[in-house]
């Protein structure tokens, strides 16, 4: 029985490569259709970079998603802002949340972004956009928190409006903040989301500096570029976009006739205070975080039916997740472990959005009773020997799933989601 004060996901807004609604999002992840393609945002040869693939959003027209936004205002906003605002508006539409359904003072917006408007700053500082500082819009375009603030203005949200920047765990933490707002009774509805636009040579250089196997150097087949848990893994591809969830208490959702996707049972974020660029490779620390998260939700590891992995296709991440499952379920055979899969081969690595994408994907898997696969996994690394969903989508009877997230800075984050009975 689900408690009336349980936090639920009632809306999902997605603006990702070749994906502008929930149906397309589900079709792509469940069908294993990769959106990683040839890199066009910058010329690899000119930048002296061995990176040729990325998950890019092509041309974008906001008018369909933001019909109430005056062109005079839109002209002052960057592409990043307009895409993120569109994701927020789509989340509201998907949740059937009309103006007047919630007190504006109790409607909040909590977003996540790892780097903010880095592309705009790059063009402005290098002088590639001579008009960068020619109008008042420069203030909007240059602030990491502008997508949240401008989305709040467009939606009429007068509650908490803030942006978390904490690398790849920021998306989870945005959801965690939203859950606390709702459980405390401070807000009635929170839009929790993320936005990231990292397809820049400077960002690529940051990851290439960490050594081979971090950023994919695939040359021939973009769709095959990201291969989590594979013996021939090659690192991740940069991905961009924005995803926003509508969260509210079940009692509030029922009063307005909304149909939830899933329940948010809890979130736990932990700083290992250890190595800044690796993660817990013993598996014991991460397993402890999962165990504590589930205990706080009144559940047990034996009840977990699925793990939505961070799955970056880097050696340390793959091993950290695999060893965490081994530590959480000691002595179990592979066939006895909960299934696991990653959506990074579909949309690339989106950093501050990654946790939101995982939460959206997991919510849909619980709703549909079907696990989306890890594509491109044909020869698993022997050290990552688990029940990988690699054969295509798989039917599952699960009412509890855990989303995993890791980040530079010694950060680990876990999110527990449940199905509605």
Which residues belong to the active site?
168, 310, 349
Q: How far apart are CA 109 and CA 160, in angstroms?
A: 6
**Backbone conformation region of residue 266, classed left if phi is above 0, alpha if psi is from -120 to 50, else beta:** left
* 241-249 and 189-196 strand pairing: antiparallel
- Of 91, 403, 95, 101, the residue nearest 260 (C-alpha): 95
Q: How far apart are CA 375 and CA 332, in angstroms?
A: 25
* Contacts of 123 by beta carbon, 8 Å cutoff, 6+ apart: 129, 132
Q: How far apart are CA 171 and CA 355, in angstroms?
A: 4
Distances (CA, A) of 299 to 237, 371, 400: 35, 21, 9
* Contacts of 299 by beta carbon, 8 Å cutoff, 6+ apart: 265, 400, 416
Burial category of 129 from C-beta neighbours within 10 Å (exposed 0-12, middle 13-18, buried 19 and up): middle
* Contacts of 182 by beta carbon, 8 Å cutoff, 6+ apart: 7, 188, 190, 247, 248, 249
């Amino acid at each position: 029985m689900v408690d009336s004060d349980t936090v639920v996901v009632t809306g999902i807004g997605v603006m990702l490569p070749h994906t502008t609604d929930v149906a397309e999002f589900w079709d792509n992840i469940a069908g294993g259709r990769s959106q990683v393609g040839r890199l066009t945002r910058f010329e690899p040869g000119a930048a002296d970079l061995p990176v040729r693939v990325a998950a890019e959003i092509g041309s974008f027209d906001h008018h369909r998603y933001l019909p109430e936004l005056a062109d005079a205002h839109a002209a002052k906003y960057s592409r990043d802002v307009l895409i993120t605002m569109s994701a927020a508006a789509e989340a509201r539409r998907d949740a059937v949340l009309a103006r007047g359904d919630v007190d504006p003072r109790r409607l909040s917006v909590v977003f996540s972004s790892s780097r903010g408007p880095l592309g705009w700053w790059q063009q402005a500082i290098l002088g590639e956009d001579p008009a960068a500082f020619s109008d008042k819009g420069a203030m909007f375009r240059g602030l990491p928190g502008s997508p949240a603030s401008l989305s709040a203005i467009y939606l009429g949200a007068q509650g908490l409006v803030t942006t978390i920047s904490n690398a790849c765990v920021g998306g989870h933490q945005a959801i965690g903040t939203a859950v606390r707002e709702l459980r405390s009774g401070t807000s009635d509805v929170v839009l929790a989301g993320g936005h990231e636009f990292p397809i820049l040579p400077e960002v690529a250089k940051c990851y290439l500096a960490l050594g081979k196997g971090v950023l994919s150097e695939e040359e021939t087949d973009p769709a095959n570029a990201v291969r989590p848990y594979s013996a021939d893994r090659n690192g991740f591809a940069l991905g961009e976009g924005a995803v926003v969830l509508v969260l509210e208490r079940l009692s509030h959702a029922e009063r307005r006739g909304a149909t939830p996707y899933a329940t948010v049972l809890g979130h736990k974020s932990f700083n290992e205070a250890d190595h800044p660029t690796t993660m817990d490779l013993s598996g014991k620390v991460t397993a402890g975080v999962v165990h504590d998260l589930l205990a706080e939700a009144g559940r047990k590891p034996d009840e977990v039916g699925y793990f939505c992995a961070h799955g970056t296709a880097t050696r340390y991440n793959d091993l950290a997740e695999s060893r965490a499952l081994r530590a959480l379920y000691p002595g179990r055979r592979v066939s006895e472990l909960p299934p696991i899969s990653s959506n990074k081969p579909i949309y690339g690595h989106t950093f501050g959005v990654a946790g939101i994408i995982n939460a959206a994907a997991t919510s849909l898997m619980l709703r549909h009773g079907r696990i989306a696969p890890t594509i491109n996994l044909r020869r698993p690394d022997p050290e990552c020997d688990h029940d990988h969903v690699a054969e295509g989508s798989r039917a599952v009877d699960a009412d509890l799933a855990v989303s995993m997230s890791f980040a530079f800075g010694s950060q680990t984050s876990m999110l527990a989601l449940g199905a509605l009975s």
